[in-house]
Amino acid sequence: MKKIAVFLTLLLSASLPSFAQQTWSLKACLDYGLQHFGSVRIAQYQQETANEQARQALGTYLPQVSATGNFTDNLKLQSTLLPAGFAGPEPKRISLGSKYQTVASAQLTQTIYDKAALLGLKAAAPNQKLADLSMRQTKEEIIYNIASNYYQVFIVKQQIALLKDNLDRTEKVLNVLRLQRDNGVIQAIDVTNTEVTYNNTRSQLALSESNLALALNRLKYQMGLTQDQDVNVSDSLLLRQTPQAEVNQFNAPGLVSYQKAATNLELQKLQLQRIKAGYQPTVSFTASYGSMALGNQFADGFRNFTGFGSVGLRLNVPIFDGFQRDAQYKQQRLTILTQEEQLRMNVAAFGLQFNNAQTQIQKASTSIQNDERTVKQAQEVYNVVTLQYKQGTKSLTDLINADNSYRQSQSNFINSLINFYQARLDLEQSQGTLLTFYNQL
């Protein structure tokens, strides 16, 4: 692995422009993305929303104070007829009230007992926990997406470096073959075959460079960078060290997706209790105080105020609501049963994902070891055949076959690298250890 790593590193460094530009390691990309990608801000807003919802729930059990003011101009006063003998021998019509009336008052209500409101206060903790879990899930998604795209960029760069090296080797062989053709040593068809290989390599190089541009654009998006910003990915540690992934025992409750579902279920059960609590009476304390001015002249409506006030207890007892609350209660029970069944299905899916990730990491680990040995062997064969061809002991067909085998082994090794890195990410995700993976970089 070390020889291959050194070889690939030298090729990569030779193919990159030598100008001063910031290089981004995987850790640097993750650090930037965790600070600047938009979903992080959305998760922060959700946390702040949960805090405000907790304050709102607490507010239902705090005193509610309001004040009102009212000025009335009775354009036509109500009148009544006094019967005869009450205010004289004849019936008499009199007006009731005053033309102008000003009232200012304040009211206070304090809940003493409301079971539904108390349960609302209890829901604040799981609601905040849910927002925190959403933040953790957001970070894990960012880590997964950035790392996956980073590996894609890095591997494509290795492919480009190998293709450039193959192109250079093929060009050198092609120059020799053209000279041999001109001297009549070989046939023109031998040169044409090598030219086809050369042109195919150039096409593969152009395709890889296009893929690199696309991969970089995806990486910049996942990091929260604008598309016009440059990103130079260079992390030789990925080649110097074979990636390792620690396989833990499957633990569904440790997954953020499981914890979110369990917390949601807890909130739904609290909502069921709140609906049931709606059958219970509520008790509240009330108090009011105000002042009123009356007069038949406009100015009298704003002077000589007379105060008034009251205190009391208010009892509200639900008796019959047309079975609405009963229907709400049954709907909520069905919602809980649905989420419980969904959670059981999710646990089975999480287990499947974990088992598949284990299988993939084992397969990828075996492939990368085999392909590493194959590259080394193919390189040795190519070097020997090249020397023997120059000495005239091997034919051109042998040289072309050795070259093709070497190219194929390089391609297989590159594919094994990306498969291994992706399998490691999938395993970390299935174990719920992406944050640990990030912290250990």
Residue 435: its pLDDT value, please?
94
CATH class of 2-12+26-70+99-439: mainly alpha
Domain layout of the chain by residue ranges:
2-12+26-70+99-439
DSSP code at position 254: G
Return the pLDDT at 88.
67
CB 429 within 8 A of CB 145: no
Place of tokens 């005193």: 63
Q: What is the pLDDT along the chain (441 residues), one digit of tens a residue?
A: 444 444 444 444 443 333 335 788 899 999 999 999 999 999 999 999 999 999 999 998 899 999 999 998 888 777 777 776 666 677 777 667 788 899 999 999 999 999 999 999 999 999 999 999 999 999 999 999 999 999 999 889 888 988 998 899 888 888 888 888 888 888 888 888 889 989 999 999 999 999 999 999 999 999 999 999 888 887 655 655 555 656 678 899 999 999 999 999 999 999 999 999 999 999 999 999 999 998 888 887 788 889 999 999 999 999 999 999 999 999 999 999 999 999 999 999 999 999 999 999 999 989 988 998 999 999 999 999 988 988 888 887 888 888 889 988 988 988 888 899 899 999 999 999 999 999 988
Q: Give CA–CA dist 138/315, Å, rounded.
A: 47
Q: What is the structure's pLDDT at 75? A: 84
| Helix 124-182 / helix 26-36 crossing angle, nearest 10 deg | 140
Decide: pTM greater than 0.85: no
Residue 17, judged by CB atoms within 10 A of its CB (0-12, 13-18, 19+), counts as exposed
Q: Please, are residues 400 and 193 in contact by the beta-carbon 8 Å criterion?
A: yes
Cα separation of 361 and 368, whole Å? 10
- The β-bridge relationship of strands 64-73 and 100-113 is antiparallel
Per the structure block, which two tokens stand in for 19? Answer: 């100008």
